[in-house]
Structure 1
Amino acid sequence: MESNSTIFIFIDDETKPIAEFKSPVNFELDTTKLVDGAHTLKIVSKGSDGVEGIRLVPFEVRNGPAISIEGIRENAVVDGILPLMINAYSKGNSKEFNIIGSETPHSIPSWVWILIIGFFGWALYYLFMYIHLKQ
C-alpha cells in the first residue's frame, strides 16, 4: 500500500489546481502572476485511502510599486482641502542597488520643530542673560 498523498494546490476560489504533486514536494509559488492584494492558498491532500485534508493559507501579494502617502491616514474623518504627498516606487532589480527614488521623502514632524524652537529660545535667553550680566 502506498503511503504518499496527492497534493493539489489552488489559488483563491479557482476550481482548477495550479499544481498537482505526490508528497513530499518542494514548490515555488510565483506571485508575479498574481494581482496585488489578498489571496488564499488552498492545499488539498488526498490520501491513498481517499480521505482528503484541506489547509487554507491567507496571504497578501505586493509586487507592484509601493505607495506611500502623507497627509491622510486610513479611516480618517476629514474636511476641507488636504495637502497630500504621494510617492510610488518600485523594488527595482534585486540584483543591484539603486539609490535614486528608493526612499520616500517625509515632511519634518511637528515635535522636531518644537524642539528646534525650544532650543533656540533657550539659547537666546542664555545669550541675553549673559550680555545683561556682563554690563
Structure 2
Amino acid sequence: MTKDKTSVLLFIDDDPKPIAELETPIVFDFDTSKLADGDHVLKIISKSPKGREGIRKIKFTVKNGPSISIEGLKENDIVDGSFPLMINSYDKDSQKSFVIEGSETPQTVPVWMWVIIILIAAWGAYYGITYFNGHPY
C-alpha cells in the first residue's frame, strides 16, 4: 500500500482476518455466496496516510439459500388437530434468465376474491335474465 492514500480493511463478523485490504477510492465486488444465510456485520476500518483510524460497522442479512414459502401456518399461530400446509422452495441460483417452471409459488385463492367473483357472476346472471326477458321497468 502506498503511504499517500487512505487504506481500508474489510472484516466479516468477528473474524480477525480481513477479507480485503484496499486503497480508496475503490469499487469492491462483495461476494456473499460463501457466507451462511443469516445476520452478519461488515466492519470497515480505514487508515489515513497520517496514521488516524476510523471504523464503521454495517449490519446486513444474507439470503443466498433457496426461498421457502408456506401457506396454512403463520408465525405464532395457535393450532389444533391436522390441517393442510402448502410448502414451496425454489432457488434462483445464478441464472441469467428467468425460468417460469418452479419459480412461482402457488397460492390458494383468498375468500374475499371468491366473494367478489360470485357477486360479479350473480350480477351478470341477473342482468342477462332481465335483458333477454324484457326490462321489468
CA 1:82–1:50 in structure 2 vs 1: closer, same or farther (change >3 Å)? Answer: farther
Q: C-alpha offsets along residues 16-51 of structure 1, whole Å, 9 cap, x if unaligned?
A: 111112222221111111111111111000122222
Q: How does 1:1-135 map to 2 (within 5 A)?
A: 2-74=3-75, 76-80=76-80, 81-125=82-126, 127=129
Sequence identity percentage = 48
Q: Provide structure 1 residue ranges, at least 5 long, that are not aligned to the other structure.
A: none
Cα RMSD of the aligned pairs, angstroms, is 2.4
CA 1:122–1:22 in structure 2 vs 1: closer, same or farther (change >3 Å)? Answer: closer
Letter in 1 for 2:7: T
Runs of at least 4 residues off by over 6 Å: none
Q: TM-score, normalised by structure 2?
A: 0.81
Could you say which structure has the higher helix fraction? 1
Measure, in 2, the Cα distance between the counterparts of 1:28 and 1:52: 23
Query: How many residue pairs end up in the alignment?
Result: 132
